[in-house]
């Protein structure tokens, strides 16, 4: 017992010395006083941390230092600060924070949390390969159009009765990325596929709960405590096993002269570079890059579409106006294509406003200082986590006339033509912007227009029962689930 007390006291003394000297070496950005060991955690709202950071910025300005446990973190608040960092100083801010939760199951492999040469090689290869297979091009558009028909057929089976659209939308969106990555789509009643989608949903939700936040801050402690995090890691292992089986199937049927999908292309590259000892093209990076694409390409876009349906149910007048525009331009028979977007300004504005208002990833994916960074007269020391608060950009009162209201007019000019806004950054910006942005934009437009061509959405409890405030708010804003009614038009 005496030994334990001594260790705790020694730890407290070290922490106190560390905090007291933290601003002597560097001109750090200002921030609230931090406590030893736990930092500023008592001052942070665990249910919506970004609200606390906004509050801090009122006192300390747009560049703030906070301590999440012992982890020094710099938060960038507002469009000007975020744009200056991610775009104007893109090279300095290209590092990626390796959150403990993600690091636990990826071991640092894959695209999303890697840095340096690994990140450069994998991102270049991934973007090139996905484009070769049609991302943002006609081929990908045709896949998306075809999947929209399967989605409509599935929704028609509910015969205008209440249903939860979560897994229908997850299947729809995931099947597009599955065509790119695995070279196949899955049936909406495929039990194994549904189990995998359920795991993805659980993982994203867990990351936005207080348990997920605590794991990222105190992984050494959480590893020794019981809790849902152990179950989640077990579930992630099932996803990894699925990906490994698919890779093995590809190995057994690979024709190097005719690659079918992303996995084939990666396997061919592994073979080509087998004698290169510095290559990042190896089995572990393949497994976790595929997992990255599968996870990111499923839950983010499907959650946005689900939230869009919540919005349409809550605001039936907006839904009706979109349908009128779609009927006039496309009709109800022809499948929408991306060329139609410029002729549907109100519909396009609503889709953009859905993304702005949902604010899916309020912190972006954390960045990381790989070296000392000079920024606005301050020094952000090496090994500092950097949070570009996208929430503060998408709700910046200097950039949006009514930031806290759902308002498609944010994206329409006085002549009702679509207008861009530089502060529309749901996919982040700079060198770590979302690699799947073009695909996500295509899916959002084609799937939502297709749905509105064929259905009118409502819920039995009425529009006022829909709450657009997310169910969980942390790493991601997770929309609430509702049973809705899709009435054929």
Q: Domain limits of the chain?
A: 100-381+391-488
The pLDDT tens digits of the residues spanning 253-288 come to: 999 999 989 999 999 999 999 899 889 999 999 999
pLDDT band at 458 (very low <50, low <70, confident <90, very high): very high
What is the structure's pLDDT at 135?
A: 57
Contact between 122 and 115 under an 8 Å Cβ cutoff? The reply is no
Q: What is the mean pLDDT of residues 470-477?
A: 81
Q: Is the pLDDT of residue 205 over 90?
A: no
The two tokens of residue 434 are 């979302």
Nearest partner of 204 among 95, 301, 111, judged by Cα: 301
From CA 297, how far away is CA 176, in angstroms rounded? 8
From CA 478, how far away is CA 309, in angstroms rounded? 14
What is the structure's pLDDT at 138?
A: 57
Q: What is the mean pLDDT of residues 446-473?
A: 94
Provide CB contacts within 8 A for 260, sequence distance 6+.
183, 250
Q: Is the pLDDT of residue 227 over 90?
A: no
Q: Give this prediction's pTM.
A: 0.90
Q: What is the mean pLDDT of residues 41-54?
A: 90
What is the structure's pLDDT at 24?
A: 53
**Whether CATH 3.30.1050.10 fits 100-381+391-488:** no
What is the structure's pLDDT at 134?
A: 65
Q: Of the given ranges (208-217, 322-331, 395-404), which has the lowest mean pLDDT?
A: 208-217
What is the structure's pLDDT at 186?
A: 92
Tally of residues, the chain: 489
């Amino acid at each position: 017992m005496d030994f334990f007390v001594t260790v705790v006291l020694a730890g407290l003394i070290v922490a106190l010395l560390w905090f007291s000297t933290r601003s002597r070496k560097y001109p750090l950005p200002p921030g609230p006083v931090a406590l030893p060991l736990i930092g500023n955690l008592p001052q942070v709202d665990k249910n919506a941390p970004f609200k606390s950071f906004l509050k801090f910025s009122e006192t300390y300005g747009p560049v703030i230092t906070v301590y999440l446990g012992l982890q020094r973190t710099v938060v960038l608040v507002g469009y000007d600060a975020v744009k200056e960092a991610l775009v104007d100083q893109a090279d300095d801010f290209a590092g990626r924070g390796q959150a403990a939760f993600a690091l636990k199951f990826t071991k640092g492999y894959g695209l999303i949390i890697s840095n340096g040469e690994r990140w450069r090689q994998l991102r270049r290869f991934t973007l090139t390969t996905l484009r070769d297979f049609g991302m943002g091009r006609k081929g990908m558009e045709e896949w998306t159009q075809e999947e929209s028909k399967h989605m409509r057929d599935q929704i028609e089976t509910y015969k205008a009765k209440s249903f939860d659209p979560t897994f229908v939308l997850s299947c729809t969106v995931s099947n597009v990325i599955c065509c790119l990555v695995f070279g196949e789509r899955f049936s909406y009643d495929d039990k194994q596929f549904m189990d995998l989608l359920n795991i993805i949903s659980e993982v994203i939700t867990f990351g936005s709960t207080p348990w997920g936040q605590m794991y990222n801050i105190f992984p050494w402690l959480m590893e020794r405590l019981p809790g849902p995090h152990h179950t989640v890691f077990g579930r992630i292992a099932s996803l990894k096993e699925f990906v490994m089986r698919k890779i093995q199937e590809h190995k057994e049927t690979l024709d190097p002269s005719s690659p079918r999908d992303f996995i084939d292309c990666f396997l061919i590259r592994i073979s080509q570079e087998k004698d290169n000892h510095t290559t990042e093209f190896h089995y572990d990076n393949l497994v976790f890059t595929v997992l990255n694409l599968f996870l990111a390409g499923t839950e983010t876009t499907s959650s946005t579409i689900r939230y869009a349906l919540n919005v349409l149910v809550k605001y039936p007048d907006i839904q009706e106006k979109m349908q009128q525009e779609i009927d006039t331009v496309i009709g109800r028979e022809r499948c929408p294509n991306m060329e139609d977007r410029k002729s549907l300004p109100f519909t396009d504005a609503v889709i953009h406003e859905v993304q702005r208002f949902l604010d899916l990833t309020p912190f972006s994916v954390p960045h990381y200082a790989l070296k000392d960074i000079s920024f606005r007269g301050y020094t952000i020391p090496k090994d500092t986590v950097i949070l570009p608060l996208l929430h503060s950009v998408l709700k910046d009162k200097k950039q949006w006339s009514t930031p806290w209201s759902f308002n498609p007019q944010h994206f329409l000019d006085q002549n009702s033509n679509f207008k861009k806004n530089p502060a529309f950054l749901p996919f982040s910006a700079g060198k770590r912007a979302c690699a799947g942005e073009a695909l996500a934009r295509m899916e959002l437009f084609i799937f939502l227009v297709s749905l509105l061509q064929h259905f009118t959405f409502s819920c039995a409890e009425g529009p006022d029962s829909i709450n657009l405030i997310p169910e969980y708010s942390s790493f991601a804003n997770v929309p609430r689930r509702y049973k809705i009614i899709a009435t054929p038009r």
